Chain A
Amino acid sequence: MRRGNQGRRRRPLFPFWSPLTRAAFFFPAIVLLMFLVIIPVLGTVLLSFVSPTTGSFTGFDNYGELLADRETADLRDAEIPFGTLLNNFIWSAVHLPMSLFTGLFLALILQKVRGSAFVKSFIFLGMVSPGIVGGIILKFLYDERSGVVPNFFGAIGVDALSIQWMAFPGTLLFGLIFGSVWLWAGFSMILFSAGLTTIPKDYFEAAQIDGASPWRTFWRITWPLLRPVTIVVITMTILWELKLFDIVFAAANVRGGVSSAADVLALQMYREAFATTSPNYNRAATIATFLTFLTLVTSVWLFRRMVLGEQRLSKGVMRKIAGPLIRRIRRSLFA
């Protein structure tokens, strides 16, 4: 962002503009947001505090009931199904590091590869395709007869995995998690690729002259300088994991597949409100509000980290620039 005209902004920019004209610029956006986003959001919050049976205000009772429900969190034993909330967490815990490091690895090795634009496009296909198509493709991929994955494990003699993956709770949940890594890795790859181009080449040259190993160069220069990008990737990935819907809907079904092994919060909300003859809007609103709470916590974390990260980044950059430079100057002086 250019801040060059900061000084000019002190005085009013366009002094003759009438407030009415100004308001006209905001008016359409405000109307649309107000009636189709903000009021519905507040409506959902309100609904979540109303009892579905008596229709009166019940405080946080709906939330208590939701979290105590086995459908949301099943802690009876350490066996699948774990419930929607825990599934979202498990998804994040496995999917986030896998897609992050896959994307980073790809961005790093594709820097100097010929035809990397093609490879990037192949990997990015998963991001471009509709989630519902992604889910159908995963279903095919794990099919016992015609799917690549079970047949591959059959061919190398791992009979335990040469099965109909979507028909067993464990392979269903983790199959979909791994599948979503396949679909989502393009995101972190693209962002890290863009981030890598912003690091000045001098740093790497300086590190090379100093005789630093590639491993050391990565952890001391690349990784710290990519920090702002990493934070964005982490946040957007967590948001995506919390909002999961299409993939599970298409690859499993509206109940999260066999014994609800891959059930997630968004799907649970949809069932309560729209996939039943007796909709429970209060319950659905409670799930939605809870989900929103989780996504807002994540994004606020991003906002704070962005500000903090920028300060730390500038300090880090200074140190990174100064260190090798000083060493080079010293070496040339005293050689």
Chain B
Amino acid sequence: MRPDRPSGRRRPAIRPRTILVHVVAWGIGLAWLIPFLGVFMTAVRPQAELLRGWWNLDPFTPTLQNFALAWGNADDPMWRGLRNSAIVAIPSTLVPMFVASFAAYGFARYRFPFRDYIFLSIILLMAIPQQMVAVPLFLALLEANLLDNFVGIVLVHSAWGIPWILLFMKNFFQTLPVEVEEAARVDGASDFRIFFKIVMPMALPALAAVAVLQFMWVWNDFFFALIFLRSQENLVATQVMFRVGFLGPFIVDQGILSAAAVITLAVPVLVYAFLQRYYIRGMIGWTIKG
């Protein structure tokens, strides 16, 4: 507040600058939504109404027909895609979360030769593109009868998630005070007891951030799914969505495809809407604090 203002005023007058900033900010925010609005409108309206653009609201008769067609599609039903995505994404979130937390605790609390070099090498694995492991993993999973199998892709996603979770959890464990663990040790608690009874409960907020982010990445993944899941009944949501609207090589039913896209999108958007705090925390903790 400016010092030269009379002090008796209840509220400073709204300046034109403030109005301008609000208009610009909200304008950009709403403009950013337009493509999403487009896909949503395409999904909820019959095809005949869309010939003059989805923004043309004369007439406007919302229908769930496209959703029904996408959901219960004969060859590629979306319900199966969602089910398969859940089968893949839930274990692919829980397994690396625990496995990497174990190791992160070790890196945060123990001293051993080359510790920091080993840690840095694992962290550098985060930068590697998925294409770098695709061919050998494809051949190995084929050999092990794990290709086109949920166990195979869960293992791949789990291993792939370890480096970033390790970094995130190590940073978190380092902020926890050692005193509590030392006291428990003096009382005769075993290592694993300390880890599960003391450290993990304290780490719940961090674990929530890890779970939200890892779940979304696995859910949104397309490349690994494309390579490791092949038969029609095993495809995950991102794959099914891509196939569902294609009636032929060059014919696309935009309405059904849009409905499928909205269904696929709904899960990460809902997770984000309800667990935004953890998502943002994970995003920032993972990138900046490291």
* Partner-B contacts on A (CB < 8 A): 1-2, 5, 8-9, 12-14, 16-17, 21-22, 24-26, 28-30, 32-33, 35-41, 43-44, 47, 106, 109-110, 112-116, 118-126, 128-133, 136-138, 140-141, 145-148, 151, 182, 187, 190-191, 194-195, 228-229, 232, 236, 239, 242-243, 245-246, 249-250, 266, 269-270, 273-274, 281, 284-285, 287-289, 291-292, 295-296, 298-300, 303
Contact = CB atoms under 8 A, between A and B. Distances in A.
Given A33-B162, A266-B131, A273-B134, A133 B265 contact: yes
7 contacts: A16-B185, A17-B110, A33-B163, A113-B26, A194-B284, A242-B129, A270-B223
Given A148-B38, A246-B223, A273-B134, 12 more contacts: A1-B289, A24-B102, A25-B110, A32-B158, A33-B162, A37-B125, A109-B25, A113-B25, A128-B268, A130-B222, A140-B42, A148-B55
Given A30-B103, A36-B155, A130-B264, A292 B171 contact: no
Contacts of B139: 281
B88 to A, nearest CB: 13
Given A32-B158, A47-B135, A291-B132, A140 B35 contact: yes
Nearest to B239: A132
A36 B133 contact: yes
Given A112-B21, A125-B32, A136-B261, A288 B134 contact: yes
Residues of B in contact with A, size category: 35 or more
B122 interface: yes
Interface stretch (B5-13, B46-54, B65-73, B200-208): B46-54
Contact of B227 (A35, A125, A274): A274
B288 A291 contact: no
B131 A288 contact: yes
A16 B182 CA distance: 12
Nearest to B223: A245
Nearest to B25: A113
Contacts of B127: 239, 292, 295-296, 298-299
B160 A145 contact: no
Contacts of B137: 36, 40
Given A113-B22, A121-B276, A36 B159 contact: yes
Given A129-B268, A131-B220, A133-B264, A36 B22 contact: no
Interface in B122-160: 122, 124-140, 155-156, 158-160
Contacts of A300: 124
A322 to B, nearest CB: 24
Chain B CB within 10 Å, residue with most, of A21, A129, A141: A129
Given A128-B272, A131-B220, A236-B287, A136 B39 contact: yes
B198 interface: no
A190 B283 contact: yes
B159 A130 contact: no
A29 B99 contact: yes
A130 B175 CA distance: 33
A132 B241 contact: yes
B178 interface: yes
A237 B201 CA distance: 34
B251 interface: no
Contact of B254 (A36, A120, A140): A140
Contacts of A243: 129-130
B220 A129 contact: yes
A96 to B, nearest CB: 16
